[in-house]
Amino acid sequence: MPQQYKIDLDQHAEQLVRILQEVVSGDDLTPKQLNRLVRRYPRPDGGLYGRSELIYAYRELAGTHALPAYSDAMLERLRRKPTRTISGVTPVTILTKPFPCPGTCIFCPNDVRMPKSYLSDEPGAQRAEQNAFDPYLQTYTRLLAYYNNGHPTDKIELIILGGTWSFYPESYQIWFIKRTFDALHDFGNGIDQREAVQAALQEKSQLHPARNTTNVTLRGLDMDRTYNQAVQSIYRDEMHRSHELAQAVAQNTALRSPVDEYATWEELEAAHHDNEMADCRCVGLVVETRPDHISVEEVLRIRRLGCTKVQIGFQSLNDDVLSANKRGHDVAATRHAVRLLRQAGFKIHAHWMPNLYGSSPEADIEDYARMFADPDFRPDELKVYPCSLIESAELMQRYEDGSWRPYTHDELLHVLVECFRSTPEYCRLTRVIRDIPSTDIVTGNQLTNFRQIVENKLAKEGQRSPDIRGREIRNRDVDAAELHLDTLWYDSSIGREVFLQFITEQCDIAGFLRLALPTEPAITPELEDAAIIREIHVYGQSLEIGESAPGRAQHLGLGKQLIEQAVALAQQHGYAKLAVISAIGTREYYRKRGFIDGQLYQLRDLSPATNT
């Protein structure tokens, strides 16, 4: 693998070995204990060793200098921020470039340096801007950061955020995803093409940090022009170049550089094929969009891109609130979008916002309950983003005239506690409170640890959140005898859903499977008469492909057991086949379990002759 830190081990070996020997000989160290240990053995040239330098030294020196042979258990002791990969995969979040948005939401930030709704001070946005929003650079540098901090990099969930994905040109979408796969393959093969990409960006792209010198600022109290108008004006040359390039390449009249935003479906599908057995595989691909941009054609196109999950902005399930906030669609559009996504087997990751203009704490609690009471919604995952007041948002006008105010701490705590309590076991509350720097918030809540505050409140009352994240076994060792299979049934807009989960007596979750049993017509002939596995997930610290770790949930064969339970249920309910919305990097896993490749899905025949 490429390495960012290559310190001179001859010069530093004595101090580094002392640190590593104490890490090996002692029990697991807390971060504070490890920091104290590092301070005892400073660098000969001054300063302290960073975690990435310790990890590099361990990888190079294991088995020498009286250190034991390399082991992943030892690496875990040195790993920085182990919770990043504690859910079983390594998430890599990247952003699309600034681009017009079909929405006019009054709560949305208008930072023209970013894709719509994002702020340049957010950590992920800063990484994107530093890399000129290039998908190769963003993916590669994130993988490198994970590797240098001791995390696995073989099972990657790619999360593509930024504005409305479905509003970007198709050629840009294909190119963007294809280039992320190029980065995965290069990184896994020890190839680093970042310098060439950066040089091409500096020559051609306005988005390169050295050339992107815009100082345009939009203010919510005085919206003299919209975000779209500003972005189209600022990036006129960039957009014109991309359009001309796409036309020229399509007509075979131009050669492409790595940063030219054009690729063909055939090129993407070739990258998909290469990734199936790659050292660095995509085991999940996520995009975000709006309900009013979901159609049958769009759903199938997103699937062809390799996507397995869609983040979709519900924001509210109240038409009056949506209208007051100029959302641009009604609740019926959300119902329609969820139905189509569920028909296609996608995992549905909703965004929901309390404290919107026109709502109230009690109305929000009712709205949240409606989301899970109504079979037309019932998302699999959820981000709860209380509305924050940002200076560039039109909501500033409603704050100024007194018709909107942020909830008090107690009001927000009351809303979120009630929401946590009413979250079903099949849903995962992925995030609570958006990670907006306090300097960007005009007024209102600035605490980013509100999830912990809510959980502490529940704990004082002898409760905890029933959602998936609140029950994950995380890095605990678990014995198969501790687990039992629990089955939760619920209705959806297309039929029945079954949530199969392996849990302990305390309801801690080690793995689960989402099975759809549709009663509605299939969205594509490939899914006719098929039950659909929408997700399989086994929790615990991510393990390398083929790696063995007794006692860890990912070593217990829970995935295979869940699949066979899904097969049995699908057969009992009369389905002729079982489909799975597999990620590119999991295709081989499913082939080994009896699934064959279809056009967009993998399928297992459920006729008795094939399952004896």
Q: How far apart are CA 484 and CA 463, in angstroms?
A: 22
Task: Give counts: helices (H), strands (E), the chain.
Answer: 20, 14
Query: Which of the four pLDDT bands, split at 50, 70 and 90, describes residue 546?
Result: low
Q: What is the rounded (10 degree) CA torsion for 126, 132, 137, 138?
A: 30
Region 245-250: mean pLDDT is 67
Q: What is the pLDDT of residue 8?
A: 85
Residue 285 lies in a domain: no
Q: Give the residues across from 352 on adjacent strands.
A: 315, 384
Q: Does residue 611 surpass a pLDDT of 60?
A: no
Q: Give the residues across from 296 on adjacent strands.
A: none
Query: Which of the four pLDDT bands, split at 50, 70 and 90, describes residue 394?
Result: very high
Question: What is the residue range of 103's domain?
Answer: 97-149+164-264
Q: How far apart are CA 552 and CA 480, in angstroms?
A: 10
Q: How far apart are CA 323 and CA 332, in angstroms?
A: 13
Q: What is the pLDDT of residue 559?
A: 94
Instruction: Name the domain boundary from 449, 471, 493.
Output: 471
Q: What is the pLDDT of residue 382?
A: 98
CATH number for 513 = 3.40.630.30
518 & 502 share domain: yes
Residue 412 lies in a domain: yes
Two tokens, residue 424: 């079903």
Cβ-count burial of 593 within 10 angstroms (0-12 exposed, 13-18 middle, 19+ buried)? middle
Region 369-383: mean pLDDT is 98
Q: Which residues of 111-124 are buried (b: 16+ CB within 10 A; e: fewer)?
A: bbbbbbbbbeebeb
Instruction: Name the domain boundary from 471, 502, 537.
Output: 471
Q: What is the pLDDT of residue 242?
A: 72
Q: What is the pLDDT of residue 583?
A: 98
Q: What is the pLDDT of residue 541?
A: 55
- Of 438 and 527, the structure prediction assigns the larger pLDDT to 527
Q: What is the pLDDT of residue 609?
A: 61
Q: What is the pLDDT of residue 479?
A: 85
Of 143-152, 241-250, 315-324, 592-601, give the lowest mean pLDDT range. 241-250
DSSP state for residue 546 in the 8-state scheme: T
Q: From residue 281, how far is each of 91, 158, 185, 475 by CA, in Å?
A: 12, 10, 8, 22
Q: What is the pLDDT of residue 612?
A: 46
- Of 258 and 463, the structure prediction assigns the larger pLDDT to 463
382 & 248 share domain: no
CA–chain centroid gap for 10, Å, is 40
**Main-chain phi, psi angles of 169, to 5 degrees:** -60, 145
427 & 551 share domain: no
Q: What is the pLDDT of residue 362?
A: 98
Query: Which of the four pLDDT bands, split at 50, 70 and 90, describes residue 474?
Result: confident
- 181: Cβ contacts below 8 Å, ≥ 6 apart: 268, 271, 272, 274, 275, 282, 584
Q: What is the pLDDT of residue 78?
A: 84
Query: Which of the four pLDDT bands, split at 50, 70 and 90, describes residue 255?
Result: low
Cβ(292)–Cβ(595) below 8 Å:
no
Of 23-27, 338-342, 534-538, give the lowest mean pLDDT range. 23-27
Nearest to 513 by CA among 608, 590, 598: 590
DSSP per position, 100-148: --S---TTS---TTSSTT--TTSHHHHHHHHTTT-HHHHHHHHHHHHHH
Residue 84 lies in a domain: no
45 & 108 share domain: no
Region 2-26: mean pLDDT is 80
Q: What does pLDDT average to over the chain? A: 91
Cβ-count burial of 460 within 10 angstroms (0-12 exposed, 13-18 middle, 19+ buried)? exposed
Residue 277 lies in a domain: no
520 & 430 share domain: no
Q: From residue 88, how far is each of 52, 474, 503, 554 by CA, in Å?
A: 21, 9, 16, 8
Cβ-count burial of 504 within 10 angstroms (0-12 exposed, 13-18 middle, 19+ buried)? middle
pLDDT digits (tens, 9 = 90+) for 569-579: 999 999 999 99
Q: What is the rounded (10 degree) CA torsion for 304, 309, 315, 317?
A: 90
Q: What is the pLDDT of residue 24?
A: 84
Provide, rounded to the nearest whole percent, the portion of the chain with pLDDT above 70: 93
Instruction: Name the domain boundary from 50, 78, 106.
Output: 78
Region 264-287: mean pLDDT is 97
Q: Does residue 594 surpass a pLDDT of 50?
A: yes
Cβ(491)–Cβ(375) below 8 Å:
yes
Query: Which of the four pLDDT bands, split at 50, 70 and 90, describes residue 246?
Result: low
Residue 280 lies in a domain: no
498 & 513 share domain: yes
400 & 497 share domain: no
Side chain identity at residue 564, one-letter code = E
295 & 434 share domain: yes
CATH number for 447 = 3.30.750.200
The secondary element (H helix, E strand) that includes residue 309 is: strand 309-315
Query: Which of the four pLDDT bands, split at 50, 70 and 90, describes residue 253?
Result: low
317 & 251 share domain: no
Q: What is the pLDDT of residue 25?
A: 82
Q: How far apart are CA 491 and CA 477, in angstroms?
A: 34
Q: How far apart are CA 529 and CA 510, in angstroms?
A: 30
466 & 488 share domain: no
Residue 2 lies in a domain: no
Region 35-58: mean pLDDT is 89
Two tokens, residue 417: 């506690």
185 & 239 share domain: yes
Query: Which of the four pLDDT bands, split at 50, 70 and 90, describes residue 551?
Result: very low
pLDDT digits (tens, 9 = 90+) for 78-130: 877 767 777 778 999 999 999 999 999 999 999 999 999 999 988 889 999 99
Q: From residue 592, how far is each of 230, 413, 560 by CA, in Å?
A: 52, 47, 10
Q: From residue 190, how far is each of 4, 90, 143, 149, 586 by CA, in Å?
A: 12, 18, 12, 17, 22
Region 47-60: mean pLDDT is 89
Of 70-74, 97-101, 332-336, 467-471, give the lowest mean pLDDT range. 70-74
Q: What is the pLDDT of residue 404?
A: 98
DSSP state for residue 203 in the 8-state scheme: H
User: What is the helix, strand, coil percentage profile of the chain, to 5?
Assistant: 40, 15, 45
Q: From residue 458, how far is each of 226, 414, 452, 461, 464 by CA, in Å?
A: 43, 11, 10, 5, 5
104 & 72 share domain: no
Region 532-561: mean pLDDT is 72
Q: Does residue 553 surpass a pLDDT of 80?
A: no
Q: How far apart are CA 17 and CA 228, in angstroms?
A: 56
Q: What is the pLDDT of residue 167?
A: 94
Residue 85 lies in a domain: no
Of 55-59, 83-87, 123-127, 210-214, give the lowest mean pLDDT range. 83-87
Q: What is the pLDDT of residue 11?
A: 87
Q: In this structure, how many other beta carbons lie within 10 angstroms of the beta carbon of residue 609? A: 6
Nearest to 529 by CA among 597, 577, 595, 572: 577
Two tokens, residue 168: 């970007």
Region 492-499: mean pLDDT is 98
Q: Could you tell me if residue 461 is left (phi over 0), alpha (psi between -120 and 50 degrees) or otherwise beta?
A: alpha
Q: Does residue 480 surpass a pLDDT of 90?
A: no
Residue 302 lies in a domain: yes
Nearest to 420 by CA among 386, 372, 455, 461: 455
Please give the tally of structural domains in the chain.
4
